[in-house]
Amino acid sequence: TPIAILISGRGSNMRSLIAACAAPDFPARVALVLSNKDDAAGLDYARECGITADAIPHKAFGKDREAHERAVDARLREAGVEFICLAGYMRLLTPFLTDAWAERMINIHPSLLPLFPGTHTHERVLEAGVRIHGCTVHHVTAGMDEGPIIAQAAVPVFPDADTPDDLAARVLVQEHLLYPAALRKVLEKTENNTNKAASLLVC
């Protein structure tokens, strides 16, 4: 399946998806990396991998979100994309794009949804005092961080020792494992039961 990865910044999840797609038995190949910022660091990495990587800066469209999305949509179709992975794509999407790509667009979010939607999740996790945190890959719908959950990974929180950066790093390790596994699950419509027996106890 030809996929696009949409990014806004460093693109570490993009890298993990590119690496997974390099395996001959993986059910996706990266047809396009697209950013809403032309200085996103991930664009250079994608180009070094020989992947077409473009920017369509949202600033050029002012406040017209849908006009920006129409340009993004046109570029995706031109590249023959059939499935989209949002990976640190920091744009709120309108129903134009979420409807056009319904059930063909997924996102990774750094919390155990439905807990902690939105930004600054690691800070808010520490403030809330929860002991288990993690990441979620979900289908994208019009509501922010609200689509059906595909897969999750959990990490412990050490409230006396952790800084938000510590937590972000711990979760990111899991993000890089989870996103390719979740993408495979969606494209093959199979359950990935590798961790079926796993449990996490945090005291």
Judge whether 193 is annotated as a binding position.
Answer: no
Which residues are CB-neighbours of 138 under 8 A, at least 6 positions away?
106, 107, 109, 113, 145, 146, 147, 148, 149, 150
Count residues binding ligand GRF (CB under 6 A). 15
**Least distance between ligand GRF and beta carbon 171 (Å):** 7
**Least distance between ligand GRF and beta carbon 137 (Å):** 9
Does position 11 bind ligand GRF by CB under 6 A? yes
**Least distance between ligand GRF and beta carbon 179 (Å):** 8
As a whole number of angstroms, the distance between CA 173 and CA 110 comes to: 11
Does position 180 bind ligand GRF by CB under 6 A? no
As a whole number of angstroms, the distance between CA 165 and CA 137 comes to: 21
Determine which residue in the list 108, 125, 140, 151 makes contact with ligand GRF, applying CB under 6 A. Answer: 108
| Closest residue to ligand GRF, based on beta-carbon distance | 88
Name the β-bridge partners of 6: 34, 86
**Least distance between ligand GRF and beta carbon 81 (Å):** 19
Determine which residue in the list 33, 53, 85, 88 makes contact with ligand GRF, applying CB under 6 A. Answer: 88
Does position 134 bind ligand GRF by CB under 6 A? no
- Say if residues 41 and 10 touch (Cβ distance below 8 Å): yes
Judge whether 12 is annotated as a binding position.
Answer: yes
Is 109 annotated as catalytic?
yes
> Given CA atoms 8, 65, 2, 145 in this order, what sign does their dihedral have?
positive
Does position 87 bind ligand GRF by CB under 6 A? yes
Does position 174 bind ligand GRF by CB under 6 A? no
- Residue 10 or 47: the one with the smaller Cβ distance to ligand GRF is 10
Judge whether 183 is annotated as a binding position.
Answer: no
Residues of the shown chain interacting with ligand GRF in the complex, contacts defined by CB under 6 A:
7, 9-14, 87-88, 108-110, 135, 172, 175
Task: Detail the residues annotated as belonging to a binding site.
Answer: 11-13, 65, 90-93, 107
- List the binding residues for (6R)-10-formyltetrahydrofolate: 65, 90-93, 107
